[in-house]
Amino acid sequence: MVLKVFLSSTLRQYVPGYNPSEGAEFSMNRKTTVSELCKLMNIPMAKIKIVMVNGKSEPFDYELQGDERVGLFPPVGGG
Amino acid sequence: MQNLLQSRSKKIRDPAGREVEVLEDSQALKIAAESGCSVHDVYVEALDLGIYPYRYVRNRETISREEQLRLSNARVAVVGAGGLGGQVILLLARVGVGRIVVVDYDRFDETNLNRQALSSQRAMGKSKAQEAVMVVGAINPGVIVTPHQVRIDPSNAKEVLKGSDVIVDALDNIPARFTIENASKSMGIPLVHGALAGLEGQLMTVFPDDPGIKRLYGNSVADGERSKSPEAVLGVPALMPSFIATLQATEVLKIILKRGRLFRNVMVHVDLESGEMNEFTFGD
């Protein structure tokens, strides 16, 4: 099963060649938590403020089944 | 004033062929001067009598006369008159919100010109709040702008924001956003939050009992290292502020007019580059 990971703004720099329209694909062969996913993708968790799984906010210990759309967001404060 | 308004208004046909009683600004300004009142008061009185200030004819029927009157009687506080706030102020002024309170301690500099709608070469070095008075005055004399050239903080927030029907969070830093959210909650006033970086932006409308922006920023009001923030790293071209400002101004209208669906308890996220606008929800 293939997970789709969408990265917001400055988080994109951690995944070389990231395409904002496509997101990043990530294949899992077992259940994985969001924090494990972040480690595997080399995205520092300290930079992430919001985790969205299939459009809903979830904690870092949320267990992914493998077919979700995951959105990761840093805190954005500009005006 | 009633007699003056009725004798100086005229009947026209709007682009849809409907007859409308209108009052042109040349007459509104004269009536204000003769009656010793503001153009704002003339507009309110006219709308109350069924006469459209001519400038609002093209707001019909999307905004009814009763709604135009309600907007004229409304007071909206916009905190931050930069990228987001400048656009929000211009939109609210054109749509006809009668009173706008503008809060910004800052002055315009050259780096504002890439995005801030109230900035211009002429306004370099001028107070953003004072410039809002000038710019809005030139667009719509029926809008009363109250400028506050202060940095908003917990000691002055309530005093500055009291009496508003809606507060717009158009700030550029996270601690100040919490300051005005706290004030809005304690005074029972709805808040429309907007923030952005690069070609991405977010919006959330917060009513006093809603969990609010801690959903977006966590419980810590600390700003972290601002030099590493997304908006510092990616900059802010004019496109995103203008888009989020339009959403914010529309939320303000919907709140005042009690219409439409509000973006409460959700994060609206816009990515202009991928052309996506998504709504994200939060669990309890």
- State residue B199's pLDDT score: 96
Cα B63 to the center of its chain, rounded Å:
17
- State residue B163's pLDDT score: 98
- State residue A48's pLDDT score: 95
- State residue A28's pLDDT score: 84
- Chain A nearest-CA distance from B74, in A, is 24
B96-115 pLDDT tens trace? 999 999 999 999 999 999 99
B22-48 pLDDT tens trace? 999 999 999 999 999 999 999 999 999
Q: Is B85 in CB contact (< 8 Å) with chain A? A: yes
Residue that wins the pLDDT comparison between B229 and B162 = B162
B62-91 pLDDT tens trace? 999 999 999 999 999 999 999 999 999 999
Beta strands B99-103; B144-148: pairing state: parallel
Q: Is the pLDDT of residue B284 over 80?
A: no
Q: Is the pLDDT of residue B217 over 70?
A: yes
- Residue of B186, B193, B188, B185 lying closest to B80 (CA atoms): B193
Assigned domain for A45 exists: yes
B177-194 pLDDT tens trace? 999 999 999 999 999 999
Q: Is the pLDDT of residue B222 over 70?
A: no
Structure tokens at A5: 């990971």
CATH number at residue A48: 3.10.20.30
- State residue B228's pLDDT score: 86
Assigned domain for A68 exists: yes
| Contact list, B195 vs chain A (CB under 8 Å) | 76-79
CA distance B86 to B121: 15
B115-151 pLDDT tens trace? 999 999 999 999 999 999 999 999 999 999 999 999 9
Name the band, by pLDDT with cuts 50, 70 and 90, for residue B221. low
Assigned domain for A9 exists: yes
Whose tokens are 């029972």? That residue is B188
Is B85's CB within 8 Å of A79's CB?
Answer: yes
- Residue of B213, B221, B219 lying closest to B192 (CA atoms): B213
| Contact list, B280 vs chain A (CB under 8 Å) | 50, 52, 55-57, 71
- State residue B225's pLDDT score: 76
Q: Is the pLDDT of residue A29 over 90?
A: no
Assigned domain for A79 exists: no
Assigned domain for A17 exists: yes
Residue pair B197/A76 in contact (Cβ under 8 Å)? The answer is yes
- Chain B nearest-CA distance from A55, in A, is 5
For residue B194, give the chain A residue with the closest CA. A79
Is A9's CB within 8 Å of B230's CB?
Answer: yes
Is B84's CB within 8 Å of A79's CB?
Answer: yes
Q: Which chain A residues touch B if contact means CB-CB below 8 Å?
A: 8-10, 20-21, 49-50, 52, 55-58, 71, 73-79
Expressed in percent and rounded to 5, the helix, strand and coil fractions of chain A are: 20, 35, 45
Give the one of A8, A56, A75 whose C-beta lies nearest to B283's C-beta.
A56
Region B163-170: mean pLDDT is 98
- State residue B140's pLDDT score: 98
**Taking all residues of chain B, what is their mean pLDDT, rounded to a whole number?**
96
Structure tokens at B60: 């019909």
Name the band, by pLDDT with cuts 50, 70 and 90, for residue B226. confident
ipTM score of the complex?
0.93
- State residue B219's pLDDT score: 78
Region B249-275: mean pLDDT is 97
Range of the domain at A63: 2-73
Give the one of B215, B229, B279 whose C-beta lies nearest to A77's C-beta.
B229
Domain count, chain A: 1
- State residue B220's pLDDT score: 67
Omega cis (within 30) before B61: yes
For residue A73, give the chain B residue with the closest CA. B216
